[in-house]
Amino acid sequence: MYNTWEELEKAINNCQKCKLCNGRTNIVFGVGNKSADIMFIGEGPGADEDRLGEPFVGKAGQLMNKAFFGLGIKRENVYIANIVKCRPPQNRVPEKDEAFACMDYLRNQVILVKPKIIVLLGSTALKNILSEDRSITRERGNWIKSGDILYMPTWHPAALLRDETKKIQFWKDLKLVKDKAQKESLKT
Ligand code: URA
């Protein structure tokens, strides 16, 4: 556990804790407000993210940005990270050992940001952050309280690209987040 962002970023620099280091161009650490009230956690970098070193800058990210814009959430007011920080080959789901190797970094980011709300984007985030037996289909759109944090599981934005009908549910879930944030005077 590192007490400062500088120490954490230095520790992750040149990480070789798992095999994903072999194919990466950039480590995709995280982006946004380092004392955000709301944090978004995705799965892992895709090709655009790997190239640019920033999470959610490709097609899925652009869709998420549209929802942010529509709901009045500013990307620079929230913090965005992923379960794994290096791109899995062919964008496959991160394997157990990869997610495990990267989890301490994410846990450290959460401790430093101290978010009140964490939005879990898709099944990989839900299962790795809360528990393996959870189901995104069953649990999306429902608040889950664990410790001091409220979790909102929702679809991964890439799922909206494959199935248009999920868009409305994604928007509804983020609207719940926006409404809760407004009620509690949280930064959005
Ligand atoms: N998908 C993710 O899960 N994370 C990103 O950063 C981009 C796409």
pLDDT recorded at residue 127 = 98
Kindly state the helix (H) or strand (E) to which residue 145 belongs, with its residue range: strand 144-146
H-type alpha helices, 72-164: 96-113, 123-129, 136-139, 157-162
Cα–ligand 1 centroid distance for 81 (angstroms) = 8
- Contacting residues for 74 by C-beta, under 8 A, at least 6 apart: 68, 188
pLDDT recorded at residue 126 = 98
Mutation to probe ligand 1, out of 31, 49, 85, 90 (largest number of atoms < 8 A from CB): 49
pLDDT recorded at residue 5 = 98
Percent of the chain with pLDDT over 90: 100
Domains and CATH numbers, the chain: 5-12+29-182 (3.40.470.10)
Cα–ligand 1 centroid distance for 57 (angstroms) = 8
Cα–ligand 1 centroid distance for 182 (angstroms) = 26
Number of other residues whose CB lies within 10 A of the CB of residue 69: 11
Task: Give, to the nearest 10 degrees, the angle between helix 5-12 and helix 96-113.
Answer: 160
pLDDT recorded at residue 164 = 94
pLDDT recorded at residue 82 = 98
Tens-place pLDDT, residues 112-142: 999 999 999 999 999 999 999 999 999 999 9
Kindly state the helix (H) or strand (E) to which residue 121 belongs, with its residue range: strand 117-121
Mutation to probe ligand 1, out of 25, 43, 83, 109 (largest number of atoms < 8 A from CB): 43
Kindly state the helix (H) or strand (E) to which residue 70 belongs, with its residue range: helix 59-71
What residues flank ligand 1, with Cβ below 6 Å?
42-46, 49, 55-56, 58, 60-61, 82, 158
Residues of the chain with pLDDT under 50: none
Cα–ligand 1 centroid distance for 146 (angstroms) = 24
Cα–ligand 1 centroid distance for 104 (angstroms) = 19
